[in-house]
């Protein structure tokens, strides 16, 4: 087949060339095959002479899909079904005169020129009506070794031992999976070890770069992990110095033991680490179904020291105020005492003066 031309393209071509096709089709009794492009047209050209069979025609993709599902489920037997994906069959196809759709008119136009009998066609001998066809397989483009290696690298597989061939992605080997990615059949994210490694890598990055101290102990209260912030807070040079040791070596184990016993976490508890002269807000919670305990410490030493200095200043201010008030009261009392003595002396002098004037 060298070319395909739709009726829509044919009509446009006629218009460009100013060609008006002549009406040459004429009714013919031996033209039953002209029903073929209509719904049920195939059935009209058949001899429906098997009494055990049911004959019906379906059109529209959804109806055809539903019918095929019923067939696959084994619900339909001895039934001849004519299926047309296009509603109305070929006369309602997607490249017909879609802007002038008229199902009834189109069917009548076909039926007008269709007869009731088959065309007179000489049939070949049945022994010659046989042809063998080889299956046409879809030829997928195969990636080169370089392209497979590059895709494997994107999946985090840099060495042959990284190719686990676990089959969790649905492919037998990692290289098959890489080829499927190259052909657009799969995504890199379909690799479970790859996703797990990325999740762990992301978690490790969060733990490592967290400004809060993170300490993980097991159910035996043995230190399993510390991040850099914890090393700085607890003045530990290397994590290996304490890994595997009980938490009592670096912290008071009492709160850890309580969390382990109760199974309930402690949240934002203010604590003073006397050995390190640090104040922290600590959250200690069980994890991994109680098999691990996670401790998160936020260093609030500067904040606590500022609060203590503020309290000290407030206390000193109150003391100064008390002293000032006490001193003022003492002065007032002294002044009152002096005024009282002066008033008494004045009264005595005035009394004496009054008596002497009276005597004269």
- Distance between CA 45 and CA 35 in Å, rounded? 7
pLDDT value of position 349: 67
Please determine, for residue 21, whether its predicted confidence score (pLDDT) is greater than 90. no
Look at the pTM and tell me if it is higher than 0.85: no
- Residue boundaries of the structural domains of the chain: 7-122, 145-199, 211-299, 312-340
E strands present in the chain? 54-59, 79-84, 213-218, 223-226, 266-273, 278-287, 292-299
Cβ atoms 87, 61 nearer than 8 A? no
Position 134 confidence tier, pLDDT thresholds 50, 70, 90: confident
CATH 1.10.15 fits 145-199, yes or no: yes
Mean pLDDT of 133-148: 83
> What architecture is domain 211-299?
2-Layer Sandwich (3.30)
Q: If you write DSSP's letter for every residue of 278-334 in order, what string do you get?
A: EEEEEEEEEETTTTEEEEEEEE-HHHHHHHHHHHHHHHHHHHHHHHHHHHHHHHHHH
For the CA atoms of 346, 351, 356, 358, the dihedral, rounded to the nearest 10 degrees, stands at: 140
pLDDT (tens digit per residue) in 202-234:
667 777 788 899 998 998 889 988 888 999 899
pLDDT value of position 356: 67
pLDDT (tens digit per residue) in 274-301:
888 899 999 999 987 778 899 999 999 8
pLDDT: which is higher, 315 or 26: 315
pLDDT value of position 358: 64
Please determine, for residue 68, whether its predicted confidence score (pLDDT) is greater than 90. yes
pLDDT value of position 186: 85
CA atoms within 13 A on the CB side of 280: 24
Question: By three-state DSSP, how is residue 39 classified?
Answer: coil
């Amino acid at each position: 087949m060298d070319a395909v031309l739709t009726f829509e393209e044919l009509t446009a071509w006629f218009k460009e060339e100013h060609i008006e096709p002549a009406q040459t089709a004429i009714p013919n009794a031996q033209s039953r095959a002209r029903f073929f492009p209509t719904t049920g047209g195939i059935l009209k050209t058949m001899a429906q002479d098997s009494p055990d069979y049911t004959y019906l025609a379906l059109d529209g993709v959804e109806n055809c899909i539903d019918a095929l599902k019923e067939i696959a489920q084994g619900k339909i037997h001895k039934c001849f079904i004519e299926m047309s994906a296009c509603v109305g069959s070929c006369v309602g196809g997607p490249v017909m005169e879609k802007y002038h759709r008229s199902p009834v008119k189109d069917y009548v136009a076909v039926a007008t020129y269709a007869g009731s009998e088959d065309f007179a066609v000489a049939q070949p001998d049945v022994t010659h009506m046989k042809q063998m066809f080889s299956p046409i397989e879809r030829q997928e483009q195969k990636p080169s070794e370089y392209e497979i290696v590059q895709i494997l690298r994107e999946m985090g597989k840099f060495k042959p031992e990284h190719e686990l061939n676990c089959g969790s992605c649905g492919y037998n080997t990692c290289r098959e999976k890489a080829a499927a990615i190259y052909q657009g059949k799969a995504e890199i994210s379909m690799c479970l070890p790859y996703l797990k490694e990325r999740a762990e890598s992301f978690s490790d990055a969060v733990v490592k770069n967290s400004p809060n101290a993170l300490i993980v102990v097991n159910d035996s209260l043995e230190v399993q992990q510390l991040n850099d912030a914890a090393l700085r807070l607890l003045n530990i040079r290397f994590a290996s110095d304490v890994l595997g040791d009980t938490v009592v070596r670096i912290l008071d184990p009492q709160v850890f033991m309580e969390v382990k016993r109760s199974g309930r976490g402690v949240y934002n508890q203010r604590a003073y680490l006397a050995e390190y002269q640090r104040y922290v807000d600590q959250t200690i919670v069980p994890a991994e179904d109680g098999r691990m305990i996670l401790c998160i410490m936020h260093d609030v030493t500067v904040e606590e020291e500022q609060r203590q200095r503020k309290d000290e200043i407030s206390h000193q201010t109150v003391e100064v105020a008390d002293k000032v008030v006490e001193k003022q009261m003492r002065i007032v009392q002294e002044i009152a005492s002096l005024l009282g003595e002066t008033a008494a002396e004045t009264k005595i002098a005035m009394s004496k003066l009054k008596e002497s004037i009276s005597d004269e």
